[in-house]
Amino acid sequence: MKPKHIIGAVIIAACLGAMFYFSKNFATPYVTFDEAAKAQGRQVQVMGELVKSAGAALIPESGAYEFSISDPDGKVMRVRTMKGLPSNFEQATQVVAKGAYEDGIFVASDILTKCPSKYEAKADEAFQKEPGE
Amino acid sequence: MLFLAALFGFMAWTLYGALVVTPPAHVLGETARIIYFHVPVAWVAVLAFTMSLWNSVVVLRRHSYEADMKAEVSARMGLWFCVLATISGAFFAKSAWNMYWNWDPRQVSITVLLLVYMAYFGLRSATPDFDRRIRLAAVYAILAFAVMPFLVFVIPRVYMSLHPDTIINADGQGKLLDDKMRLVFWCAAAGYTFLYLKLYNLSVRVERIARRKEGWDV
């Protein structure tokens, strides 16, 4: 290894390190639940796992849907949307909610879905039905 | 001849397989067929950037004009395939996520990658002295390649992303659970690799003729 190779490697490593260090500022639009709560009223995006057990509930009086998402630490946030749920919401593993946190609930104007990353054939409906159904 | 047969064979089978043979996917339905285009195209972009790296190393070793020309051709191809991956990804995102563009970590990092390689061409055209240009460009291409895997593989895994893991899932299992899907997918990967090699070969020949007409000895 010549000295200039070592200098080159150090420069490259420094660039990567700097990029990684600053990437938090530019790489992701998603904020944590705490940051969303702190940003009261400001438009942000949060991402989390759908809490399947809580399900999505339609609030009959307002026509809004409500559901819960959890972050990797297990913190749970309630999300409400007036726009209805996207068609593949049921199968989504994670969702992104775009909107603002208002008085204990995240009011979303848009819901984005993360679909399962495994691709399997669509089951034939004839097979899905239980015999005698 | 054998090469062309392989290219057309794989590509024809990929088209037919992707549109006819493979079943629609669970959840994503017919739109999942775009993976037989989106993934191989992204793979070819990485391949082309690797080729650009390799030729850039040769430039620094031997100060070869030929290698510089190949490095430039490779970077240009990588950039175009990257654009294709970005556009096909946006269409895929519309059906899978509900939105064409959301500045998801994956979309941010591919945008940065596009800018990094666009800057390569900016650097080239901003350096009039040819001998200086090829050395500067070679060093920059090596630096760009060091950043590339970081943008393609690391950032989207560090931050939560709507994009699924690339190549294999976090649990180490394959992504395609259906035999027909897997077969067509690997044919597509082979087909696009042959397509890349053919395009690379043609581009180098065209570039060589163009440079000779300009009076370069390459």
Give how far Cα B27 sits from Cα of A65, B20, B157, B163, Å: 21, 18, 23, 15
With 0-12 CB in 10 A as exposed, 13-18 as middle and 19+ as buried, what is B158?
middle
**Per-residue pLDDT for A119 more than 90?**
no
What per-residue confidence (pLDDT) applies to A131?
42
Give chain B positions within 8 Å (CB) of A29. Answer: 102-104
Q: Which of B34, B98, B99, B181 to mutate to test binding with chain A, by most A CBs within 10 Å of its CB?
A: B98
pLDDT top residue among B50 and A123: B50
| In contact, B79 and B114? CB cutoff 8 Å | yes
| In contact, A95 and A112? CB cutoff 8 Å | yes
Point out the residue among B35, B99, B178 whose CB comes nearest to the CB of A112: B99
- Single pTM value for the model: 0.88
Question: Can you tell me the distance from the alpha carbon of A101 to that of A2, in angstroms, rounded to the nearest whole number?
Answer: 56
Angle at B41 between CA B38 and CA B46, to 5 degrees: 125
Q: Which of B116, B160, B161 to mutate to test binding with chain A, by most A CBs within 10 Å of its CB?
A: B160
Run of H or E including B126 = none
The domain spans of chain B are 35-213
Please write the tens of the pLDDT for every residue from A9-68. 898 888 888 888 888 888 889 999 999 989 888 899 999 999 887 778 888 888 899 999
What per-residue confidence (pLDDT) applies to A87?
84
What per-residue confidence (pLDDT) applies to A123?
62
- Of the candidates B201, B63, B196, B72, the residue with the CA atom closest to the CA atom of residue B125: B72
Q: At what angle do helices B65-96 and B130-149 cross, to 10 degrees?
A: 30
| In contact, B103 and B112? CB cutoff 8 Å | no
DSSP B66-116: HHHHHHHHHHHHHHHHHHHHHHHHHHHHHHHTS-S----HHHHHHHHHHHH
What per-residue confidence (pLDDT) applies to B173?
59
Give me the interface pTM, i.e. the ipTM. 0.81
What per-residue confidence (pLDDT) applies to B153?
84
**Per-residue pLDDT for A92 more than 60?**
yes
Question: Can you tell me the distance from the alpha carbon of A94 to that of A46, in angstroms, rounded to the nearest whole number?
Answer: 11
Give how far Cα A96 sits from Cα of A30, A31, B111, B161, Å: 8, 10, 21, 9
Q: What is the largest CA-CA distance in chain B?
A: 58
Structure-block tokens of residue B216: 């370069």
Question: Can you tell me the distance from the alpha carbon of B85 to that of B117, in angstroms, rounded to the nearest whole number?
Answer: 15
- Of the candidates B75, B88, B153, the residue with the CA atom closest to the CA atom of residue B114: B75
B40: helix, coil or strand? helix
Average pLDDT, chain B: 90
Interchain pair B98, A112: CB under 8 A: yes
Interchain pair B96, A12: CB under 8 A: no
What per-residue confidence (pLDDT) applies to B168?
56
Question: Can you tell me the distance from the alpha carbon of B212 to that of B218, in angstroms, rounded to the nearest whole number?
Answer: 7
Please write the tens of the pLDDT for every residue from B152-199. 888 888 888 898 877 655 565 566 778 888 899 999 999 999 999 999
Question: Can you tell me the distance from the alpha carbon of A95 to that of A102, in angstroms, rounded to the nearest whole number?
Answer: 19
What per-residue confidence (pLDDT) applies to B92?
93
With bands split at pLDDT 50, 70 and 90, how would you rate the model's confidence at A132? very low
Min Cα separation B43/chain A (Å): 18
Q: Is B122 on the interface with A (CB under 8 A)?
A: no
The CB density around residue A127, as the number of other CB atoms within 10 Å, is 6
Please write the tens of the pLDDT for every residue from B8-22. 999 999 999 999 988
Please write the tens of the pLDDT for every residue from B32-62. 899 999 999 999 999 999 999 999 999 999 9
Interchain pair A91, B155: CB under 8 A: no
Question: Can you tell me the distance from the alpha carbon of A111 to that of A81, in angstroms, rounded to the nearest whole number?
Answer: 8
Interchain pair A120, B150: CB under 8 A: no
Q: Which residues contact A120 (CB under 8 A, 6 or more apart)?
A: B25, B26, B177, B178
Average pLDDT, chain A: 84
With bands split at pLDDT 50, 70 and 90, how would you rate the model's confidence at A125? very low
| In contact, A85 and B143? CB cutoff 8 Å | no
**Per-residue pLDDT for B104 more than 80?**
yes
**Distance between terminal CA atoms of chain A?**
73
What per-residue confidence (pLDDT) applies to A124?
53
Mean pLDDT, to the nearest integer, of B89-106?
93
Give how far Cα A81 sits from Cα of A20, A57, A62, Å: 35, 11, 10
